[in-house]
Each structure stands twice: as C-alpha cells, then as structure tokens.
Amino acid sequence: MAARNCPECGGLVASTINVCPHCGFIFNDSTPSSPSTNTRNGQSPNPYTSLVWSIVALVLFWPAGVVSLVYYFKSDTSWEDGNIFYAEHYGKTSITWAKVPMWIMLGCFALIFIGLILAVAVEA
C-alpha cells in the first residue's frame, strides 16, 4: 500500500483514502496533491450536507425543515472546525430530517389513493 503526504497538514495518508484523517483535506482524483479550487477560507466544501434538501423540507413541512436546517448548520460548523466525525453525523441527520416531508407526502397520497379506490368499490 502506497502512501502520500497531505498538502494541507503534511500528514501521511494511504493512497486508498481520499480524505486526510488528520485535517480532513479531500484529495481529488485529477489533482491529488493540490487543494480544491472550490474552497472557503482554505477549506474544501462540506460533502456531508445539502442545503437544497433542507430548504425543500422547510417549504413542504416547516417543523422538519427547521430541524434539518439546525443540523445543517451544526454540520457546517463542525466541518469548519475540522471535526469530520460530527460533520458527517450532523450532515446525515440533516438529510434524514429533510426527507421526512417526502415520506409524509407519500403516505398522504397513498391514503388518498386507497380512499378513492374504496369509495369507487363501495359505489359499484
């Protein structure tokens, strides 16, 4: 197994790993030794969150959307602090809460569909 040095912290990273375990630097396939060009304050963007999912959840069902946004910002803050474990945990929790309105809507549509089928069956 080959190893390479992280361009951010200089730590030794296995070539099979794409994220530095020391500082969280993400290696790109095209340029594994240079930092990402899409950075903020010298850091790569948080790959564990999705603001779009949180906003959609906020529009469809605001209680779940608010919880999703809170976890989104916690994940983003953890990522900026270099705590990858909590950034991933909060990011996954944010996306889970953002998907709650989708499941609620799917359940409502299923109940309406079943109700329509039963109403047609009773009249027939």
Q: For residues 98 and 54, is the Cβ–Cβ distance under 8 A?
A: yes
| Integer Rg of the chain from CA | 21
* Domain match, 104 and 73 both: yes
Q: What is the mean pLDDT of each run of 10 residues along the chain (124 residues)?
A: 75 81 76 44 76 89 92 91 90 93 92 95 84
Following DSSP, what letter does each residue of 36-95 receive, concatenated?
-SS-BTTBPPPTT--HHHHHHHHHH-HHHHHHHHHHHHHHHHHHHHT-HHHHHHHHHHHH
What pLDDT is stored for residue 45 in this prediction? 82
* Domain match, 55 and 28 both: no
Closest listed residue to residue 86, CA positions, set 57, 45, 50, 48: 48
Residue 85 is part of which domain span?
A: 48-124
Q: What is the pTM assigned to this prediction?
A: 0.58
Q: Tell me which DSSP letter residue 33 carries.
A: T
* Domain match, 61 and 110 both: yes
* Domain match, 92 and 78 both: yes
* Domain match, 41 and 72 both: no
What pLDDT is stored for residue 110 in this prediction? 96
* Domain match, 55 and 78 both: yes
Instruction: Please give the tally of structural domains in the chain.
Output: 2
* Domain match, 66 and 122 both: yes
* Domain match, 72 and 20 both: no
